[in-house]
Structures are given as structure tokens and as C-alpha cells.
């Protein structure tokens, strides 16, 4: 029975991980967003709806802020319900003026959320899917349309938003065709105009045309680079598409640009559902000599409709597909399903035409980024605005299938709100893009939140129509850094805490692009907190490569389902770990020997009660805050023998906690051990370096209150030592064999245990010398300099020639050597001496000259 139960738990855990892992890839889900709403039409124009849509797969708290206005409000978000923020619940400002703006919205959340921004005015609407800060980059190109002067001066432009202070941004402004001016008077031509700006956290910078031309001035292809991550929102206040269309169908355009590192080289697009005459597209090049090829197939018979070929010479160059001169109802553009391929990464923007394009009612312009195949993912949240002005919403879906699988197994796993897509649209399994392994569907959906789940990669866009209103935005894609060479997931280690697990995650190999984030499958029941290496919301900044992150999962002990932890990098690689929560948790141990006194012993036995733990961790420290740990050990017993260094009396502190395979209990109450042992002996006399000329010698030291006796050690060299015991604090040396230097040390003894020896002290014994009798006369016999450290000169002065001998004696009277034998001359005679071969000490020189002897004391000190 246990084996079956284990198997069921294992299968359940695997299934849970498989369902969870695709949900939190790099992309539109995140915990921090900065949003702006570029001006739609005009400031006094009537607003129909201005909304921020927030979606989640888990319950949590969403915080909405306008930092510049000091506004902040929290909202509960439900896993099953769309959170709609409108102007009745929060202020949602537009920004319009060129230059720096501060009306930037800041959204944070306790759980990953998806955010869509909608800006609707009377017959002029659009919106975009926002990028979380964790998916921002440092290099973008702008893409929109030409300025449009008609009823009003309607410019196109872009907004740059910063999430960090001192963000330095470089703008390379260019015009696609005819030159012109931005609103602030900057002249722009096809040759880039450079501009440098610096933004602080939560600031935005607006660049837009002056709106005085129509179909001439277009900033598309302008490049935005920064030294820290930024967001770029491209827009048009209001325009018709094409700009030469007869009146009928003006609308607002807005879309979030994606970092160029997330662009791809392969795209599939579906014509939107309207009159059947096609859509407009723009492709922007990342690199020079970019070749773009495309082939369109009819929906009905999947026969080739049109092929396209274009070469873009420079980075930022743009090509516009099928925008011919217009007469009402005679437009024709990119039709059906189109497969796009380029030799280098491109951005592909999809535009909806004005009503006059094909005389189709309820249609107006919008623009939306198309997701590259390289960034398709498996699961996503998609939002259709809940504005009643919209009569219909459509979902374009393209997915990866298996051309060799007649059962379409992978495609059958794709579900929309829990319903298989092939059941909603039976033609889906037969709608294959010729020559590829991609299938497509165009689905009618209701307003509100929708969830796509799948075991195969797919991509979605969503759009809708009302009465002279429309919107379109991305439904799903990843935002991984492509072509990095990073194909390995982050590495991690983990350590159990008190009902928690702490992960240390690393991404440090040469090709690694850095850690992106950490998520769990149940924020409702458990929480993530982080240490100083990452921001508190676990959204990792991409200012620099994040090589190490530390994240703690705090677990709810009442929830027994496994916790899945996903750790991902910026290249889209991820690793999963499962935390299995036990039904019983280790309890806090109770100390048995809480406060102990140890006297004259070298160990203390620490004991505690069993606390339903697999093992125990014990700490012994010098201080009650446990900053200076002396012992840290893990044991399966409920006792620990702590070995004590016996020198001196002091108090140490100890504590213990229970462990199992996942969790640790809280630390026990603190215990203490009072150690009462002898101290290292302090010696008194003789003082260090003393010279002693008589025996006996008495050694003395400071008494220790605990010691029962003392051991004494006297040494001269390896050939002589005395080791003895003293019952008091003195010891008498009655005899020593020779003069010279002696060291002495003492240690205390208690109950058979000994302290360390005291620091060595030395004295010099100089007993009277036993050398031949001699007269000391410096006029006749001397040595200089004194003391002798190296070379010296011995001087002998005689009144006539005499036989002389000079001998060297130790202070104890021993003959060391004969230094000289010879005949003196009348007057002063000098003999060279070098102390290099002689030990330091006091020596006697004896001169025999004829029948007389003379002495001279010599000190050698090198």
C-alpha cells in the first residue's frame, strides 16, 4: 500500500510541475510594472473608458501608485476574476507634452500578474499588453506611423520610462522618408540625430512629431539605448490607415516595444476578421543587410496568394507591406495566413486599416506587435476589454504541431478556458500553414479574462471592433534573450529553515545571461521573501547580469500539497524543485541541562528532550547572541559532549533545534555552562632576563583559587631540564650544573587536568669563575669595542719582546680556546678577534706574558 501511495504522490507532483512550469516564463507576467498612457486624440476629448486590466492565476494584493502625486491604493486580486481599474477607482492620467513627464503609474503585486492598458475616447481607442520590469531591456527601436494633420495636428511618437535612478538614455532619431521636426523643434532627417537624456525612477520622456504634416514625417526606426533597463511605448495620437484614405476611420494607436534581443527571424500572421482584403504590416531591421521574405496563403484553399521579398540595408530601416494609393473600398493588402522568414532578427508590426479601406463598418485602426516563433510559449492569460462598446472580440492563435502525427496529439492539448480549441473550432486540426508544422485558428471570444493552456508552444493576439472603435494587442509570448548561447538552467542549492526553505541560485558560467526570477505554484498558501542580493519582490533587475540570488520560501504548515519552485534565467531556461511538506513538523526542543556549572573538568554533557525530529543542530557560543560560535554540530542523539579548553573560568551559551528532511524547528531556549577551571599561571620572580650569581634560586608565581598543585619546568637546552611538582606558589632550585641561560614555566593542576604552560621566562646564572689568578690592567691588556657583536681588537702592550699566550674562558671557568701564541714586539701589539662562532655571554681573556698573567672581561652580544 505504501508503494502505491508513493507512486500516486510522485505522479501528482510531476503533473503539478508540468502544469506550473510554463506559466511563469519570461514574458508578460511579473510583479512590478511602470505604465504610461500617451495622449489619445486630445486632452479635452471625451473619454469613454480608461482602464488598467490586471489578471493573475493566484490570489494576492495589487498596489496601484502614482508616486508623483503621492497616491497609493491596494486591491485584492482573485485567481478567477479580472481586476478592472477605471477612473472611478483610481486616477489614470495621460501624458502629452514632449520632454520629461512624471505622471507614471507604478503597479506592484504580491503574486505574478498580467497587465493590459486600455485608453478609449469617443471613436478613438487602442491599448497594449504591458511588459513587467523583469522583461525590460536596454536597446529598442520605435515603430508607429506618419504624423497626421487633418482635423487636428496628430503626431506619432514614443515614450521612454525608467525604473531606476540616474538612467542614462541615448536617442538616435531618424525619419523614414521626408525629414521634419519633433514637437520640441528638433530637426530630424534620414541621417540620425543624437540626443542624450537622464531619467530618474518613475520618470518618462516623450518624443513626438509636431503633427503639421500628413503621410510625410515618421520617426519609425529611431533607436533608444540606455545603461539601465527602460520601457518604450510607441503610439499615434490619432490617424487613418493608410494616411491617404478618404475620411472615414481615424483611431488611436499604441503598443509596447520589445527589446531587440527578443526579436526573432520567423513569424506567422493571420489576417484579422473583417472585409477579407488584407492587413498592413511593417518590418523593422535590427542589423544591416536584413533580407525579409514572406508568402501569403488564402484561407479558403491554402493556395499561394502573394510572395514578398525585401532587403533592409541599415539597422532601423523599415519596409511597409501593401499600402497602395486608396480609393474607397478598393484596398488590397497582405491577405490570409502569412509565413515570414528573415536572415536576421526583425520586429513585425501588424496594423488594422481604417473603415474606408474596404468599406467595412465597425472597423478602425489599431497596431499590435506580432510574436516571433522563437518566443512562442505554452500558457498565457489573455484579456478582452469589458467595454460594452465592443460588439465582437477575436483571438488569433497559431501553434506548433507534429506533421507526422495523424492524431494531432499536441494540438488537442490546447485549451481555451478549459475547452479544447479543436472542439471550439473543428477546422483547427486541418488549418495547417503549407510547408510548416504550424496550425492556426481564428476564434470569437467574449469580453473578460481568458486562459490558454497547452503542452505545445503557441502564440496569440486579440482584437475587437465596436462602432468606429477597435483595439488590438498581444495575447502571449515569451520575452527571452535570444541568440545568447545560454542553454543551461540556473543551478541551485537549498537549506531548510524554520518552516521554510532557502534557495541559493547561481548563473555564473561564461555563456549564462543571468537570473530572471523565482516563482512558486501557490502564493496564496506560501510566501517568498528575499535577502539583500535581490529586490524584495523577487523580480530581478536586468541592469547587470545577476549571477547569484537568495530566496526563502516560507511555508504554511497546514497545507500538505507539494510546493513547486521555478527558477529561471533571462534566456528562458528554467529548473524546477519540489518541496514536500511533511504531516509533522519538528518541535522546539526542551533543554534538560539548561544551566550547568563545570569545575575542574574538560567536558560538559548537554542534554535535551526528544522533539519528533530526525536530527538536531546544536550551537555553543561565546556570547548570548551567538555571533561567535565555538561549536556547531548535527547529531541524531539528544545529548552532546562539549569538550572544554581548561584555561580559566568563563560562561558559554548553547541552544538546539530539531531537523527533518525539509524543515527546522525554532531554536530552543538558551542554556549556559559556567566553566570554573584554573587559569594560565602568572609568574612573578625572578623577573624576565634577571642575572643571578648565587644559588639557591626561588621561583614564585600568582596563586590560582582552583588549582590543587602546580608543575614547574626548568630547561637550559635539550641536554638539561627539571620537571617537578609544587604544592605552593614557590619552588626552590638548589643547584644548577653550569652558568648560562635558563628558562622556566609553571602550569596549574586541578583534578588531574592541567592548564597550558605559562609563557617562558629566563634568567642568567653567573656563579664566580674559576680561572687562573691574573691581574686586570687595561693599559697592558684590553679588548674593544665592548660588548663585542662581530669583529674586535685585542691589544697587548709590552716594554720589550716577550713570549705571550692569550686564552678564552667561559664565565664558569671552562677553557674555550687558545686565541693566540707568539712573541710580542716592544709597544702595542694588536690581535684580531671575531665573535661570529661564539655564543652570546660573558667571557674571560687571560694573557700570559713571560711569567706574569693579566685578565680582561669580554661580553659577546650579537
348-402: per-residue pLDDT in tens?
999 999 887 777 777 789 999 999 999 999 888 999 998 888 889 999 999 999 9
Q: Alpha-carbon torsion 375, 380, 381, 383, what sign?
A: positive
For residues 655 and 563, membership in a common domain is answered with: no
For residues 232 and 187, membership in a common domain is answered with: yes
Q: How far apart are CA 455 and CA 379, in angstroms?
A: 8
Give percent above pLDDT 70 in the chain. 91
For residues 627 and 729, membership in a common domain is answered with: no
Q: How far apart are CA 809 and CA 396, in angstroms?
A: 112
Please name which of 137, 95, 121, 371 lies closest in space to residue 235, comparing C-alpha atoms: 95
Spell out where 7-59 has E strands: 30-35, 47-56
Q: Which three cell numbers stand for residue 340?
A: 515570414
Within a domain: 776:
no
Kindly tell me if the per-residue pLDDT of 317 is higher than 90.
yes
**Residue ending a domain, choose from 644, 676, 708:** 676
| 3-state class (DSSP) for residue 132 | coil
For residues 150 and 283, membership in a common domain is answered with: yes
Residue 166's alpha-carbon distances to 226, 415, 518, 539, in angstroms, are: 10, 45, 27, 20
Q: Dihedral of the CA atoms 70, 71, 74, 75 (nearest 10)?
A: -160
Within a domain: 608:
yes
First-to-last C-alpha distance (Å) of the chain: 87
- In CATH, what number is assigned to the domain containing residue 521? 2.60.40
Kindly tell me if the per-residue pLDDT of 232 is higher than 90.
yes
**Residue ending a domain, choose from 643, 676, 709:** 676
**Residue ending a domain, choose from 741, 765, 789:** 765
Q: Which three cell numbers stand for residue 62?
A: 495589487
pLDDT at 179: 87
- In CATH, what number is assigned to the domain containing residue 787? 2.60.40.2550
For residues 512 and 572, membership in a common domain is answered with: yes
Q: How far apart are CA 386 and CA 51, in angstroms?
A: 9
Give the chain's mean pLDDT: 88
Distance of CA 160 to the CA centre of its chain: 26
Q: How far apart are CA 622 and CA 645, in angstroms?
A: 13
Q: How far apart are CA 842 and CA 733, in angstroms?
A: 23
For residues 415 and 556, membership in a common domain is answered with: no
802, 781 contact by CB (below 8 A): no
Pairing mode, strands 470-476 and 458-466: antiparallel
Within a domain: 749:
yes
**Locate cell 526579436: which residue?**
263
Within a domain: 4:
no
For residues 465 and 319, membership in a common domain is answered with: yes
pLDDT at 11: 28
Q: How far apart are CA 849 and CA 845, in angstroms?
A: 13
For residues 620 and 713, membership in a common domain is answered with: no
Q: 392-437 pLDDT, tens per residue?
A: 999 999 999 999 999 999 999 999 999 999 999 999 999 999 999 9
Q: Count how many Cα atoms sit within 13 Å of the Cα of residue 407 in the half-sphere of its side chain.
A: 3
Residue 510's alpha-carbon distances to 513, 540, 541, in angstroms, are: 8, 19, 19
Kindly tell me if the per-residue pLDDT of 669 is higher than 50.
yes
Q: Which three cell numbers stand for residue 505?
A: 541560485
Q: How far apart are CA 162 and CA 164, in angstroms?
A: 6
Domain residues for the domain of 842 are: 781-860
Within a domain: 6:
no
How many C-beta atoms surround the C-beta of residue 799 within 10 A? 9
User: What is the chain's alpha carbon radius of gyration, rounded to the nearest angstrom?
Assistant: 45
Please name which of 414, 609, 466, 563 lies closest in space to residue 122, comparing C-alpha atoms: 466
Q: 19-61 pLDDT, tens per residue?
A: 444 455 668 999 999 999 999 999 999 999 999 999 998 889 9
Kindly tell me if the per-residue pLDDT of 770 is higher than 60.
no
Q: How far apart are CA 662 and CA 582, in angstroms?
A: 8
Q: Which three cell numbers stand for residue 81?
A: 476574476
Residue 145's alpha-carbon distances to 47, 191, 208, 220, 254, in angstroms, are: 23, 18, 11, 7, 11
**Locate cell 490619432: which residue?**
238
Q: What single string gives the DSSP state of each residue in 576-601?
A: EEEEPPPSS-PPPP-BSS-EEEEES-
Given pLDDT bands bounded at 50, 70 and 90, which one contains residue 783? very high
Q: What is the mean pLDDT of residues 559-575?
A: 83
Q: What is the mean pLDDT of residues 220-234?
A: 97
Please name which of 331, 308, 305 lies closest in space to residue 320, comparing C-alpha atoms: 308
652, 621 contact by CB (below 8 A): yes
Within a domain: 316:
yes
For residues 624 and 729, membership in a common domain is answered with: no
Q: 173-205 pLDDT, tens per residue?
A: 999 878 899 999 999 999 999 999 999 999 999
Kindly tell me if the per-residue pLDDT of 807 is higher than 50.
yes
Kindly tell me if the per-residue pLDDT of 3 is higher than 80.
no
φ, ψ for residue 743 (rounded to 5)? -105, 150
Q: What is the mean pLDDT of residues 251-280?
A: 95
Higher pLDDT, 513 or 255: 255
**Locate cell 531591456: which residue?**
137
pLDDT at 623: 92
pLDDT at 25: 62
Kindly tell me if the per-residue pLDDT of 285 is higher than 60.
yes
| 3-state class (DSSP) for residue 813 | coil
Q: How far apart are CA 752 and CA 746, in angstroms?
A: 15
Q: How many domains does the chain have?
A: 5
pLDDT at 772: 66
For residues 501 and 645, membership in a common domain is answered with: no
Q: Count how many Cα atoms sit within 13 Å of the Cα of residue 802 in the half-sphere of its side chain.
A: 20
Within a domain: 482:
no
- In CATH, what number is assigned to the domain containing residue 629? 2.60.40.10
Within a domain: 771:
no
Q: Count how many Cα atoms sit within 13 Å of the Cα of residue 246 in the half-sphere of its side chain.
A: 10
Q: Alpha-carbon torsion 697, 703, 704, 708, what sign?
A: positive
Q: How far apart are CA 84 and CA 469, in angstroms?
A: 20
Given pLDDT bands bounded at 50, 70 and 90, which one contains residue 79? confident
For residues 414 and 366, membership in a common domain is answered with: yes
Q: How far apart are CA 840 and CA 835, in angstroms?
A: 9
pLDDT at 18: 43
Predicted TM-score (pTM) of the model is: 0.69
For residues 369 and 467, membership in a common domain is answered with: yes
DSSP state of 214: B
Q: How far apart are CA 210 and CA 164, in angstroms?
A: 29
Q: How far apart are CA 269 and CA 321, in angstroms?
A: 13
Edge to edge, what strands does the sheet with 781-784 contain?
781-784, 791-798, 827-834
Question: Cα angle at 195 between 483 and 366, to 5 degrees?
Answer: 65
Amino acid at each position: 500500500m505504501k508503494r502505491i501511495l508513493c507512486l500516486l504522490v510522485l505522479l501528482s507532483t510531476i503533473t503539478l510541475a508540468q502544469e506550473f512550469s510554463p506559466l511563469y516564463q519570461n514574458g508578460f507576467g511579473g510583479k512590478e510594472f511602470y505604465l504610461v498612457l500617451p495622449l489619445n486624440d486630445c486632452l479635452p476629448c471625451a473619454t469613454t473608458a480608461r482602464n488598467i486590466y490586471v489578471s493573475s492565476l493566484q490570489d494576492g494584493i495589487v498596489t496601484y501608485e502614482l508616486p508623483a502625486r503621492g497616491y497609493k491604493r491596494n486591491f485584492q486580486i482573485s485567481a478567477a476574476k479580472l481586476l478592472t481599474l477605471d477612473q472611478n477607482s483610481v486616477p489614470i492620467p495621460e501624458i502629452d507634452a514632449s520632454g520629461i513627464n512624471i505622471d507614471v503609474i507604478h503597479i506592484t503585486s504580491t503574486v505574478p500578474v498580467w497587465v493590459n492598458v486600455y485608453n478609449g475616447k469617443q471613436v478613438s481607442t487602442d491599448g497594449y499588453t504591458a511588459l513587467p520590469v523583469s522583461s525590460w531591456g536596454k536597446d529598442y527601436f520605435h515603430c508607429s506611423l506618419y504624423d497626421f494633420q487633418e482635423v487636428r495636428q496628430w503626431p506619432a511618437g514614443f515614450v521612454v520610462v525608467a525604473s531606476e535612478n540616474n538612467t542614462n538614455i541615448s536617442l538616435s532619431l531618424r525619419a523614414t522618408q521626408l525629414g521634419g521636426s519633433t514637437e520640441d523643434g528638433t530637426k530630424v532627417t534620414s541621417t540620425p540625430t543624437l540626443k542624450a537624456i537622464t531619467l530618474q525612477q518613475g520618470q518618462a520622456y516623450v518624443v513626438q512629431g509636431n503633427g503639421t504634416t500628413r503621410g510625410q514625417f515618421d520617426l519609425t526606426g529611431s533607436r533608444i539605448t540606455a545603461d539601465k533597463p527602460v520601457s518604450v511605448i510607441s503610439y499615434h495620437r490619432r490617424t487613418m490607415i493608410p494616411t491617404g484614405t478618404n475620411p472615414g476611420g481615424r483611431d488611436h494607436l499604441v503598443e509596447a516595444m520589445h527589446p531587440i534581443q527578443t526579436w526573432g527571424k520567423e513569424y506567422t500572421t493571420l489576417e484579422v476578421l473583417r472585409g477579407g482584403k488584407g492587413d498592413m504590416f511593417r518590418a523593422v531591421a535590427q542589423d544591416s543587410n536584413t533580407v525579409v521574405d514572406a508568402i501569403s496563403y488564402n484561407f479558403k484553399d491554402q493556395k499561394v496568394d502573394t510572395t514578398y521579398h525585401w532587403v533592409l540595408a541599415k539597422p532601423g530601416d523599415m519596409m511597409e507591406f501593401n499600402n497602395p494609393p486608396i480609393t474607397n473600398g478598393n484596398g488590397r493588402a497582405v491577405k490570409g495566413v502569412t509565413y515570414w522568414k528573415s536572415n536576421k532578427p526583425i520586429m513585425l508590426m501588424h496594423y488594422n486599416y481604417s473603415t474606408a479601406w474596404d468599406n467595412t463598418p465597425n472597423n478602425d485602426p489599431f497596431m499590435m506587435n506580432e510574436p516571433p516563433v522563437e518566443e512562442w510559449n505554452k500558457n498565457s492569460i489573455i484579456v478582452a476589454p469589458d467595454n460594452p462598446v465592443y460588439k465582437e472580440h477575436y483571438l488569433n492563435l497559431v501553434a506548433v504541431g507534429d506533421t507526422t502525427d495523424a492524431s494531432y496529439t499536441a494540438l488537442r492539448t490546447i485549451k481555451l478556458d478549459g475547452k479544447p480549441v479543436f472542439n471550439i473550432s473543428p477546422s483547427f486540426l486541418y488549418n495547417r500553414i503549407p510547408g510548416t508544422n504550424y496550425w492556426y485558428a481564428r476564434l470569437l471570444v467574449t469580453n473578460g479574462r481568458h486562459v490558454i493552456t497547452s503542452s505545445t508552444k503557441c502564440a496569440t493576439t486579440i482584437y475587437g471592433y465596436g462602432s468606429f472603435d477597435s483595439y488590438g494587442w498581444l495575447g502571449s509570448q515569451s520575452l527571452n534573450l535570444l541568440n545568447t548561447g545560454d542553454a543551461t538552467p540556473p543551478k541551485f542549492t537549498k537549506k531548510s529553515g524554520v518552516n521554510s526553505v532557502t534557495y541559493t541560485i547561481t548563473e555564473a558560467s561564461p555563456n549564462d545571461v543571468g537570473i530572471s526570477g523565482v516563482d512558486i505554484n501557490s502564493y496564496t498558501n506560501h510566501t517568498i521573501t528575499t535577502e539583500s542580493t535581490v529586490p524584495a519582490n523577487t523580480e530581478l533587475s536586468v541592469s547587470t547580469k545577476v549571477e547569484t540570488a537568495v530566496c526563502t520560501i516560507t511555508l504554511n504548515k497546514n497545507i500538505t500539497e507539494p510546493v513547486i519552485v521555478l527558477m529561471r534565467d533571462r534566456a528562458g531556461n528554467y529548473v524546477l524543485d519540489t518541496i514536500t511538506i511533511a504531516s509533522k513538523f519538528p518541535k522546539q526542543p526542551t533543554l534538560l541541562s539548561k544551566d550547568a556549572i563545570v569545575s575542574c573538568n574538560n567536558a560538559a554533557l548537554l542534554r535535551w528532550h526528544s522533539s519528533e525530529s530526525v536530527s538536531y543542530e546544536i550551537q555553543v557560543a561565546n556570547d548570548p547572541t551567538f555571533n561567535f560560535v565555538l561549536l556547531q554540530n548535527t547529531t541524531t542523539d539528544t545529548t552532546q559532549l562539549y569538550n572544554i579548553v581548561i584555561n580559566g573560568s568563563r560562561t558559554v551559551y548553547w541552544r538546539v533545534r530539531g531537523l527533518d528532511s525539509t524543515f527546522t524547528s525554532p531554536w530552543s531556549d538558551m542554556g549556559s555552562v559556567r566553566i570554573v577551571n584554573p587559569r594560565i599561571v602568572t609568574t612573578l620572580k625572578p623577573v624576565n632576563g634577571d642575572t643571578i650569581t648565587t644559588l639557591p634560586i626561588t621561583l614564585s608565581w600568582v596563586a590560582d583559587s582552583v588549582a590543587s598543585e602546580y608543575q614547574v619546568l626548568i630547561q637550559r637546552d635539550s641536554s638539561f631540564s627539571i620537571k617537578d611538582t609544587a604544592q605552593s606558589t614557590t619552588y626552590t632550585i638548589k643547584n644548577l650544573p653550569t652558568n648560562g641561560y635558563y628558562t622556566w614555566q609553571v602550569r596549574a593542576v586541578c583534578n588531574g587536568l592541567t592548564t597550558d604552560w605559562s609563557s617562558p621566562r629566563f634568567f642568567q646564572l653567573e656563579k664566580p669563575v674559576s680561572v687562573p689568578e691574573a691581574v686586570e690592567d687595561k693599559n697592558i691588556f684590553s679588548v674593544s669595542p665592548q660588548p663585542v657583536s662581530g669583529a674586535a681588537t685585542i691589544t697587548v702592550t709590552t716594554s720589550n719582546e716577550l713570549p705571550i699566550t692569550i686564552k678564552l674562558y667561559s664565565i664558569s671557568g671552562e677553557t674555550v680556546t687558545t686565541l693566540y701564541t707568539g712573541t710580542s714586539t716592544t709597544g702595542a701589539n694588536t690581535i684580531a678577534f671575531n665573535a661570529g662562532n661564539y655564543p652570546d655571554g660573558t667571557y674571560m681573556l687571560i694573557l700570559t706574558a713571560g711569567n706574569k698573567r693579566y685578565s680582561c672581561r669580554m661580553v659577546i652580544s650579537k
